[in-house]
Amino acid sequence: MKERQKKMEFSASTGQWSRSIVFLFSLSLTGLGLWPFLLVTAMMMLHSYFREPREFIVQLFVFSTYSGFIGSDQLPVKLSDLMMIASIGLLLFGKLNQKIRPLLVAFLLYVVGVFLLAMTSMESMMVQIKMMRYYFVIITFIIPLFLLRSDRDGLLGCGHYLVVYSLVICGFYIIDGFILNGFVMLPNTYLEEGVSRWNNLWVDPLTTYFPRKYPPGLFILIPTAYYISRCFRLNLFQWLLIIGAMAASRTMTFLAAFLVVLIFSISDRHKIRRNVVGLSVGLVIVYLVDLCGGGFLRFSSTVNQFFDLKEAVESGDVEMISEFGSGRLAQALPKMELLLERNRLWTGFGFIHPSESFLTELILKNPFYPDQSVHSSVEMPAEVEITQVQTVLNIGLIGLLLQMLFYSFIAVYLYRSNMKWQFYLAVLIGVSISGLGGFIGLTTAFTMWLGLALGLSMLHENDKDEEIYVERVTM
């Protein structure tokens, strides 16, 4: 959409709001262990599939990424696996536009390259595939592309529902984070003390205890940010929902990803400058408020980490350096050092499973962890909370380059094919930034949100169709 087009005020019908609330609350109850509500979820998705495929797609991706509602260990199968199987089935038996063929060839080359690098590892392929398969969930772009292949309004129609479900999820974050003060609406957004279930609810309402809720339920905001930036104008209350959810999550890498997607999606350079200036002033104010308020939002502490890092680098204090990124470098440094010692920098260790690997010669003791007990500090070089480093550990610098070339090729192909390359590229950048904090990234099942953006980006719409549709859905 060209920036000269006026954005429309976002609104949704009572039915759209009520369906989204009921659907998401059924996921909440399922995550709390009330399994009959999984049937409610399935029935609503089946109804949407026949009545409104655009809404079904949003429901499907919220459900299959768990989104903080259901724990990935609560179901007997990985939903990402089912999504990939469905995508391959559609490739084999569905009727798809021939223009996707170059992307499929690139995807096949990417898969072959990853497998060849994995074969250099001493780890068995049966173990490696358990971690490797998440590198390939981008193939799920086939699902929205197939379901909306004949829908000229598919791109914006699906975006409308993305905004609806995003705002409801933000409301759930606020209820959980500041009213119930616990883990009910999104029971699987992390809890150190245990799990929140219907017979053991973790709540502490009407107190000053405001738990930090991790952002998997907010990942939907990364593709949604594109639509907010280009298509729909939110009112003050809707913006407050997003801001409140961000405050409940308090995850700075995800906030940065969301803001970058918002700004990157603006096509008017003058408007970009105005937004950057306004955002910079706003962030300075947030920093000062958070600093005076004891760092509740974790924003001031995040900024201060960069000053601490500069001081640590200048003094050569490795232990202080390891504390950067909320201790994420403490995870990464010993594993990268072992990678260099074993001359595996170019090809990586392979996809080492943190608990099922038999390569005892790779076991290391991490000296940077506060708890130096054997249970806490002895580990495999398997997982780190920086997805770019994770790629290097798995398939080395060659694999990182392969990954970058593959995802860059997609952007170039969309651009040359006159498709919505800005949408895909904006989400790719957002996913990569969030990956610096171990969230989403290109090594996790949450890459399905990028798959959704890619599928929608390949739907053909002209500017006139978009303008007519925005006016129609917001009347």
Calpha distance 61→233 (Å, rounded): 24
* Mean pLDDT, range 251-262, rounded to an integer: 90
Calpha distance 49→59 (Å, rounded): 10
72-81, 208-217, 281-290, 376-385: least confidently modelled range? 281-290
pLDDT for residue 250 is more than 60: yes
Q: Are the C-beta atoms of 352 and 131 separated by less than 8 Å?
A: yes
- Quick one: which H or E segment has residue 365? strand 364-365
pLDDT for residue 130 is more than 50: yes
Quote the tokens at residue 80.
Answer: 């990402």
21 Cβ contact partners less than 8 Å away, ≥ 6 residues apart: 168
Q: Which residue has the higher pLDDT, 427 or 367?
A: 427
Confidence of residue 93 (pLDDT cuts 50, 70, 90): confident
235 Cβ contact partners less than 8 Å away, ≥ 6 residues apart: 9, 10
HSE-up (13 A, CA, CB side) for residue 171: 13
Confidence of residue 379 (pLDDT cuts 50, 70, 90): confident
The per-type count for the chain, helices as H runs and strands as E runs, is: 20, 4
Phi-psi region of 352 (alpha: psi -120 to 50; beta: other; left: phi over 0): beta
Determine phi and psi for 201, rounding to 5 degrees: -70, 135
* Mean pLDDT, range 399-421, rounded to an integer: 95
HSE-up (13 A, CA, CB side) for residue 327: 6
Calpha distance 29→44 (Å, rounded): 15
Calpha distance 32→184 (Å, rounded): 7
pLDDT of residue 295: 66
- The type of residue at 169 is I
pLDDT by residue (tens digit) across 295-325? 666 666 666 665 555 566 656 666 666 666 5
pLDDT of residue 475: 41
The radius of gyration computed from the CA coordinates of the chain, to the nearest angstrom, equals 22
Calpha distance 169→161 (Å, rounded): 12
Q: Are the C-beta atoms of 346 and 394 separated by less than 8 Å?
A: no
pLDDT for residue 396 is more than 80: yes
Confidence of residue 463 (pLDDT cuts 50, 70, 90): very low
Label residue 242 exposed, middle or buried (CB < 10 Å: 0-12, 13-18, 19+): buried
- The type of residue at 12 is A
Calpha distance 228→216 (Å, rounded): 19
Nearest to 141 by CA among 401, 373, 447, 425: 447
Confidence of residue 34 (pLDDT cuts 50, 70, 90): very high
26-40, 65-79, 399-413, 454-468: least confidently modelled range? 454-468
Distances (CA, A) of 311 to 35, 306, 319, 328: 52, 9, 12, 18
328 Cβ contact partners less than 8 Å away, ≥ 6 residues apart: 384, 385, 386, 437, 438
pLDDT of residue 3: 42
Q: Which residue has the higher pLDDT, 370 or 421?
A: 421
Calpha distance 211→249 (Å, rounded): 9
Q: Which neighbouring-strand residues pair with 197?
A: 200
pLDDT of residue 144: 95
Calpha distance 25→37 (Å, rounded): 9
